[in-house]
Amino acid sequence: MKQPLDYLQNFKNHAWLIGDDSQEFYQIATELYFQLIELSKKAIPPKIILAEREPVRFLASFIAACAAKCPVFLCNPDWGKNEWEQVFNLVQPDIVWGLETGDWGLGTGNNNLSAISNSIMIPTGGSSGKIKFAIHTWETLTASVQGFIEYFQLNAVNSFCVLPLYHVSGLMQFMRSFITGGKLVITSFKEIESQRIPNINHSDFCISLVPTQLQKLLQKPELTTWLSQFETVLLGGAPAWEELLEKARFHHIRLAPTYGMTETASQIVTLKPDDFLNGKNNSGQILPHAQVTIDNLTGNILIKAKSLALGYYPQLWENPNNFLVDDIGFLDAEGYLHIIGRSSNKIISGGENIYPIEVESAIRKTNLIIDVCVIGIPDKHWGQALTAIYIPKNPNTSILEIETHLKDKLSKFKIPKHWISLPNLPRNAQGKINHPELQKIAEDFLAHSSHNS
């Protein structure tokens, strides 16, 4: 397998960063690489916290760390005090790149991960405030890229990145370009929204978006036209809703809804754009580097993949070949994966099983709401009472009106018992709901409302 340093040499005179300085990338990466090699001669390779804000510095530091086989932890510079405390306690880094404050109590030397010298730790689970790091390696990330190019039959991947580089969704866009010798544009979603757009041939590029970003782009005609020029628009990070998919299809967006997670180094199942435009509404087929099976008893999805993480830092998984996920789904006769819902979000109300996704999608289709999330609230009578927390389009819309729309669409037990109207739902930048927070908001609200049934 080609190593990070081999790629770096090939890239010496290659202008692969569009709008950024490829030469600067090369210089920073080599300089840091030699520094790390010197440090590693004295002791075991130092553990690095990487929180650079500037994209070229971030990527050059990342490659230097990988090439010098130093454990590297990708971090969000905007984490709050609470997150940073967790991360510093867990990691006890030797080097911190990108944070201004110096007093972190560095260099404790308890390097408990020396067994996997070239490990790459990618953060996950930030939506509820508790940060975990999935342990990846150059090999697992490369396997993900290999699977991607085989599935899409590409030689070189050109990526247009508006997602954070410390997150698996942004990092893998870089990896696809870096490993295949493709081009990379790095910009921010804000720049795109204000229509400061680089001059490239968009039909050569893949862009990755999360559903809330797609929704924003489809609200503006100029940005919708812009998006329709891309060869592939990968969509992932959170479940998309049917109305959004319909709208994208209507505008001929070459969408590729994906299924994957930090632990699998991004997508392992993807619907190809032609299938999407032909009306398919599922997660697509399995990429060649992965295997997906369904647990007969529970319906849970079971994953084997060459791109699978080895554990959560600092613990390696006992059975690294089998990753059981919280999602429930099935594979159809043609091998397309259909996700039904999250098993931990399953609500049991009056003895009936309810998956929130089905109820949420029916509520979205009424066109009376902007956003919605359905949860279960502990209830003496029902066990769990189905509760919809929603943002109304019009503050005067009554609950009765929404319920009337739902009557012939959903079985009676799937109609929420409680409705809570809020100005905002607690979603993170990826669009994922912070469930513990929402649960608390809903329970507090119902405890204090006099007219709850």
Ligand X SMILES: O=C(O)CCC(=O)c1ccccc1C(=O)O
Q: In the complex, which residues of this chain contact ligand X (CB under 6 A)?
A: 168-169, 172, 208-210, 234-237, 258, 260-262, 266-267, 430
Report, in Å, the least distance between residue 134 CB and ligand X: 10
- Is the separation of the CB atoms in 118 and 66 below 8 Å? yes
Cβ burial, residue 35 (10 Å; 0-12/13-18/19+) = middle
Report, in Å, the least distance between residue 100 CB and ligand X: 28
The neighbour count for residue 412, using CB atoms within 10 Å, is 9
Please state whether the peptide bond connecting residue 314 to the residue before it is cis, i.e. omega within 30 degrees of 0: yes
Report, in Å, the least distance between residue 236 CB and ligand X: 3
Q: Which is nearer to ligand X, 118 or 208 (CB)?
A: 208
Contacts of 452 (CB under 8 A, 6+ apart): 418, 446
CA dihedral 27, 29, 33, 34 (to 10 degrees): 10
Q: Which is nearer to ligand X, 234 or 310 (CB)?
A: 234
Q: Which is nearer to ligand X, 25 or 160 (CB)?
A: 160
Q: Which is nearer to ligand X, 30 or 307 (CB)?
A: 307
Report, in Å, the least distance between residue 210 CB and ligand X: 5
Residue in the shown chain whose Cβ atom is closest to ligand X: 236
Q: Which is nearer to ligand X, 55 or 260 (CB)?
A: 260
Q: Which is nearer to ligand X, 118 or 262 (CB)?
A: 262
The helices-and-strands tally (H runs, E runs) of the chain is 14, 24
Q: How far apart are CA 333 and CA 327, in angstroms?
A: 20
- Is the separation of the CB atoms in 180 and 157 below 8 Å? yes
Q: Which is nearer to ligand X, 75 or 209 (CB)?
A: 209
- Is the separation of the CB atoms in 105 and 93 below 8 Å? no
Report, in Å, the least distance between residue 174 CB and ligand X: 11
Beta bridge partners of 271: none
Q: Which is nearer to ligand X, 29 or 235 (CB)?
A: 235
Q: How far apart are CA 337 and CA 292, in angstroms?
A: 9
Q: Which is nearer to ligand X, 76 or 267 (CB)?
A: 267
**Pairing, β 383-392 against β 369-379:** antiparallel
Report, in Å, the least distance between residue 330 CB and ligand X: 21
Report, in Å, the least distance between residue 171 CB and ligand X: 9
Report, in Å, the least distance between residue 142 CB and ligand X: 15
Report, in Å, the least distance between residue 247 CB and ligand X: 18
Q: 425-429: long-range contacts (C-beta < 8 A, 24 or more apart)? A: 425/371, 425/372, 425/373, 425/389, 425/391, 427/212, 427/371, 428/126, 428/127, 429/164, 429/210
State whether residue 380 is helix, strand or coil: coil
- Phi and psi for 20 in degrees, rounded to 5? -125, 170
Q: How far apart are CA 136 and CA 263, in angstroms?
A: 8
